[in-house]
Structure 1
Amino acid sequence: MFHSSCLRVFRRAVAAGRAFFLSYPAVSALPLMAVLCSAVLPAYAVASTSGSAPVSPAAVTLFPDRALLECVQTLEQRPLSDGQRGVVISLPAQADPATLRLVPDKGTLADVRWERVTAEEQEPVVALRAELDRLSRERALVTGELQATEARIALWSDSGMAEVTAVELERVDAAMARHLASLHAARYDIGRRQQELDAAVKRVEEQLERARGGEAQTWTVQAVLADAPATVGMRYSYVLAGSGWTPLYRFDARPGEGRVAMNFEAEIEQSSGMDWQNARIALATMERFVTLDPPYLHEWLIGQQQPVLLRAEAAMEGAGMRAAPMMKAMDAAPVQVQRGTYAVWDLGERTVPAGRRMLLPVVAEWWTTPFVYTARPASDDKAYLTARVALAEPREMPHGTAMFLVDGALVGKRGFGLSGSETDLYFGADPLVTATMRLLDKQGGEKGVIGRRQSMVWAWDITLQNNRPHPVALVVEEPEPQPGHTDIRVETASQPAPRKTEDRTFVWELELAPRGQQVITHTVTVSAPKDMDVDFGRGR
């Protein structure tokens, strides 16, 4: 009777599409579903083309969102599609053939044309496809094993014991407890493995997409040469989309040593479909969008107001790039070279794989700098550790993500960029150094002859506290109030007196003794015509 109940459950499983070979009482099964799943997986075929594959570049200049590739190749002249003789060059799918610059060592260029052709996948793409195929098949096997386990759990959970004796019930209960426990544990382990394979498949799919640039075709360029021998040496360059670099910075403050450890790395990604083998790699700091022409200079006309018809300006030209000359060999250490309006970091010869992001070191050095605490008590009572960097020479460091540490401990991340030689680096608030601003008095009233003006007076004290066992330099900043009307007058009085900066800020630069305290008094008086509705700003 129990065997017939099991048979009914098995038949239901088959009807649901879960056909498995089961054996009672061992309850073992070959995961037939896994075999079926693997049998229907797509078989990847490598596309073929009559043209040659793109060659690895000799030098690459990486911009934030594209790359300039420079290649050297020896080519044989052959008959072209129109009957003329010339050479054929293949470019990656993401290349822009309109940016191609050809320089033959002999002869002259008579004509150049290009067309899309089916891509011949190179070794990096083929390897990624093979890895994706292996992972997909393994995932199919694991999926089948999981479904087989769930079917066996269903078999034991629904055994249809409507008409069984007490003795049979005791035997079935013992078997169910034994088998269900092990099956549920197996389902958990198989499920974890399935999740890991799902993540691995997704990762390889993304790498494959990046490696071939999302395209299944490449460019074939046909160049007709005049007065050229059968074998021609060709130097050429072109712009490649889908490739670029992102700057990453790490600043580790060492206040006790009076210096900051600066690490500058580049995260590089390229989608040419081929590995760049031993190519000269350079990083260009030019921003993503740069206009080549100065803005249009509009006329200044003064007269009666008329409806204005805005002239539609031509679309701003994007960042143009001239084919740079082939890069000459330089020292292996990264060197910054200024090229017109942007800087280039030469990283020397590197191998950059297709489809995989990689980090390359650019600069690692110590910056000697004084440390101060910066406080802006009108906003909060905290004092922020600040490195006041002044470099010997200007630097061009493009904007990127930076990690900030103090004595090796991470305090936060934010954006960083530098164009020049001076900057302030902030490393977070120090709870042992504070600047607390307290409003002592706020008064309004009338002043002047027959009370023709209104006035408002604020008086604060700013208490500076250093609870550290050593002296600290503290910079306190407060905005200088600005009148927004010629009839509004502003007067200030402070002790000690601050200095005023060009950006209209009051700055106090003080040194606090160990566990010391100091107080700044600050008063602002505003007067305006009595009938003027004055906005005093800042919610004051």
Structure 2
Amino acid sequence: MKLICLLCSMIILLPSFAYVNNDKTIIPAVLQSAIVYRSGAELHHTAKATLEKGNNDVVIEGVSNDVDLNSLQFGSDGGVTVMSVEFATNHLKSAVKPAFVKKLEDSVETVTRALSRLQVILKTDKDMLDLLNANKEIRGTQTGLSVAELMKMMEYYKTKTLELQNEITDYNERAAKLAELIAKLNNQLNEEKNKNTKTTGSLILQLFSPMSGSFNFTISYITKNASWNPYYDLFVESVNKPVRLVYRAKVAQSTGIDWQQVKLSLSTSTPNQQNTAPIFNGWFLGYINPISSRLQIRGASSFANSLSGKVAGLSLQEVVVAGYGSQMKQNKETEADDTPVYVVNGNIISKADFERIAPQSIASMNVLKDAAATAIYGSRAANGAIVVALKDNMSDYVSVTDNELNMVYNIDLPYDMESSGKEQSVQLKESSVASTYKFYAAPKLDKEAYLLANVADWEQLNLIPGEANIIFEGTYVGKTMIDPNSTKDTLTLTLGRDKRVVIKRDKLVDISSVKFLGSNKKQVFSYEITVKNNKKEKISMLLKDQYPLSTNKDIEVEVLETSGADINKDLGILNWNIELAPGESKKYKLSYSVKYPKDKIVNVN
């Protein structure tokens, strides 16, 4: 018993031993903003502590469960000096369960309780049925029962037995469904618990303060437990309208702390890369051991401007707070005399309604004075007019900063993001992209026609490689890849297949032939390509085919017919740029011959 009491006391006291020195000042860190990289994130916290003059031991709690101490930056407003930094993970602190995990646990508890109650009822019915079966024999002091009494007993037995058996069957089915539901909830709960990382970190600091007092601190560092990946939505209403490109990001974080009302930015760079420029050393030739060379080969591996918040050189917060917030509150006596007219999206509103507008939702603000205001809004604008345009959609809240080495997408709206490791979709930009549309077909490789959108000046879109969903004429038709890592002037987007453009490629057997010329064999190959436009509008198409090339002097290739195609002789590619009216059909022929020694086999097919 003494041993048990001792163990219980140790368990109770364990949290107090998380830090050996009880004289440390423990303060919470408040996450303000996060810059998420393709891999990793830079988190910015604020904290406040009261320090004594001289040395102070401070523990800042609530930071990420993984901190790169090399990236740690610490600032204060009172000349406080950081003497030493240590990072620790507090595993003894009770983790805060995510809302979804708590909801699943509550669901499991509720369904389990319902199953237990059902099993009690089920057991009671089974006991009653057993009791009924055990007392089927009719006994009594009389030698017999009348027919009426016997029928009454039989009817009671039949009715009660049938009722109990039906109840038992129904309860068994309900119990099986509840057990199945509990199993599913537990599986989902286990998956969520594996994904969620709620262990937070702490920074143990030794600080020197030149004076006693209350100080504000800023802490920033890089953690690897966050990432984002781009993806796109391509909306095409018709081939006569531009492509609507929606730029999105899938953001995930498992830093151990939930991000609540955080200023979010997404950067295209990756921190912690090797940043040493390569240097040439002497290259000396020598003999190679074939065995060690193969082993080495096996072991080798491969692979802005802000859109909002600035009016006439001042930040939006400066205009709203300094011009129409605190200053006006200090001069309430004169408000009635010099209050301007507030115009939001063309509608005049009251000052109270104007002050309820979130500053980050304002796209532009213009201050009109005197005659300029009265000319538009009449005498009620004698004291001036504040003309405001609000942001329309998510694109207005995102600004792109094109730095020397990367791009950063700054989002004005605050975000909430649980430390669950789950991807959360964030819309970044929406652009109307001027495009020229053209069909593309290579019937030797694929018998279907693909619609392509060619985008000029695509460098201005700030794209990075990613997957894209294609919504053509209101219907989701599939996915494609956007790869802007190109040196071409035009970016080509594949928008999907169109089965209303029919393509056939047939081998002309009557023309294709084999001839023997001395020691050589000559084969002739002829193909006919038929293209038909079953659409209601005229289309343009790039049609491609190819003929083989020879790198052996004994193999000769001769092109016999191309139906006027443009030929790339270096690659053996034929290009036909054609236009088809609605319902029109056209045919193109390709014919070539291959001559080679008849005792050889050539991959002509």
Q: TM-score range by the shorter chain?
A: 0.7 to 0.9
Q: Tell me the residue number matched to 1:234.
A: 217
Give the C-alpha shift of residue 204 in structure 1.
Answer: 5.6
Q: Tell me the residue number matched to 1:508.
A: 576
2:223 is equivalent to residue 250 of structure 1: no
Q: Tell me the residue number matched to 1:31.
A: none
2:427 is equivalent to residue 444 of structure 1: no
Q: What aligned pairs does 1:212-227 form with structure 2 within 5 A after superposition?
A: 213=197, 215=199, 218-225=201-208
* 8 Å Cα contact 1:117-1:220 kept in structure 2: no
2:244 is equivalent to residue 177 of structure 1: no
Distance in 2 between the 1:489 and 1:54 partners? 79
* 8 Å Cα contact 1:150-1:187 kept in structure 2: yes
Give the C-alpha shift of residue 189 in structure 1.
Answer: 4.7
Give the C-alpha shift of residue 252 in structure 1.
Answer: 2.0
**Structure with the greater alpha carbon radius of gyration:** 2
Decide which of 82, 97, 104 is 1:125's aligned counterpart. 97
Q: 1:212-261 CA distances to partner (integer Å, 9 max, x unpaired)?
A: x254x523332444757654443322222332223332222222433222
Give the C-alpha shift of residue 442 in structure 1.
Answer: 3.2
Distance in 2 between the 1:185 and 1:529 partners? 82
Distance in 2 between the 1:128 and 1:392 partners? 41
2:411 is equivalent to residue 347 of structure 1: yes
Distance in 2 between the 1:287 and 1:417 partners? 19
SS in 1 for 2:264: strand
Q: Tell me the residue number matched to 1:141.
A: 113
Decide which of 39, 45, 51 is 1:71's aligned counterpart. 45
2:67 is equivalent to residue 88 of structure 1: no
Q: Tell me the residue number matched to 1:373.
A: 439
CA distance 1:172–1:396, change in 2 (3 Å): farther
Q: Does 256-265 or 526-535 show the bigger shift?
A: 526-535
SS in 1 for 2:397: coil
SS in 1 for 2:30: coil
CA distance 1:376–1:126, change in 2 (3 Å): closer
Distance in 2 between the 1:295 and 1:146 partners? 72
Q: What aligned pairs does 1:458-497 form with structure 2 within 5 A after superposition?
A: 458-492=525-559, 493-497=561-565
Distance in 1 between the 2:430 and 2:132 partners? 72
SS in 2 for 1:134: helix
Give the C-alpha shift of residue 59 in structure 1.
Answer: 1.8
Q: What aligned pairs does 1:330-341 form with structure 2 within 5 A after superposition?
A: 333-341=397-405
Distance in 1 between the 2:194 and 2:45 partners? 24
Q: Tell me the residue number matched to 1:427.
A: 495
Decide which of 448, 453, 461 is 1:387's aligned counterpart. 453
Distance in 2 between the 1:491 and 1:240 partners? 62
* 8 Å Cα contact 1:457-1:526 kept in structure 2: yes
Give the C-alpha shift of residue 377 in structure 1.
Answer: 0.6
Give the C-alpha shift of residue 173 in structure 1.
Answer: 2.5
Give the C-alpha shift of residue 295 in structure 1.
Answer: 6.8
The alignment's C-alpha RMSD in Å is 4.2
Gaps of 5+ in 2: 1-13, 20-24, 139-149, 303-314, 317-359, 364-395
Give the C-alpha shift of residue 456 in structure 1.
Answer: 2.6
CA distance 1:317–1:426, change in 2 (3 Å): closer
**Aligned partner letter, 1:535:** N
CA distance 1:231–1:431, change in 2 (3 Å): same
Q: Tell me the residue number matched to 1:116.
A: 89
Distance in 2 between the 1:387 and 1:121 partners? 55
User: Percent same amino acid among aligned pairs?
Assistant: 18
Gaps of 5+ in 1: 1-45, 319-327
**TM-score, normalising length: structure 1:** 0.73
SS in 2 for 1:151: helix
CA distance 1:287–1:488, change in 2 (3 Å): farther
Decide which of 497, 509, 517 is 2:585's aligned counterpart. 517
2:123 is equivalent to residue 56 of structure 1: no
SS in 2 for 1:495: coil
Q: Tell me the residue number matched to 1:279.
A: 262
CA distance 1:431–1:133, change in 2 (3 Å): closer
Distance in 1 between the 2:167 and 2:411 partners? 57
CA distance 1:149–1:89, change in 2 (3 Å): same
Give the C-alpha shift of residue 437 in structure 1.
Answer: 0.6
Give the C-alpha shift of residue 372 in structure 1.
Answer: 1.9
**TM-score, normalising length: structure 2:** 0.66
Q: Tell me the residue number matched to 2:72.
A: 100
CA distance 1:95–1:479, change in 2 (3 Å): farther
CA distance 1:210–1:286, change in 2 (3 Å): same
Q: Tell me the residue number matched to 1:5.
A: none
Q: Does 468-477 or 127-136 show the bigger shift?
A: 127-136
* 8 Å Cα contact 1:65-1:243 kept in structure 2: yes
**Aligned partner letter, 1:112:** V
* 8 Å Cα contact 1:207-1:355 kept in structure 2: no
Q: 1:163-213 CA distances to partner (integer Å, 9 max, x unpaired)?
A: 5457545423312333443454455456545555655565566555545x2
* 8 Å Cα contact 1:94-1:242 kept in structure 2: yes
* 8 Å Cα contact 2:262-2:415 kept in structure 1: yes
Q: Tell me the residue number matched to 1:43.
A: none
Higher helix share: 2
CA distance 1:410–1:127, change in 2 (3 Å): closer
Distance in 2 between the 1:304 and 1:126 partners? 62
2:428 is equivalent to residue 362 of structure 1: yes
What is the aligned length? 475
Give the C-alpha shift of residue 501 in structure 1.
Answer: 9.2
Distance in 1 between the 2:596 and 2:283 partners? 35
CA distance 1:176–1:499, change in 2 (3 Å): farther
CA distance 1:389–1:199, change in 2 (3 Å): farther
SS in 2 for 1:477: strand
2:123 is equivalent to residue 151 of structure 1: yes
SS in 1 for 2:459: strand
* 8 Å Cα contact 2:27-2:48 kept in structure 1: no
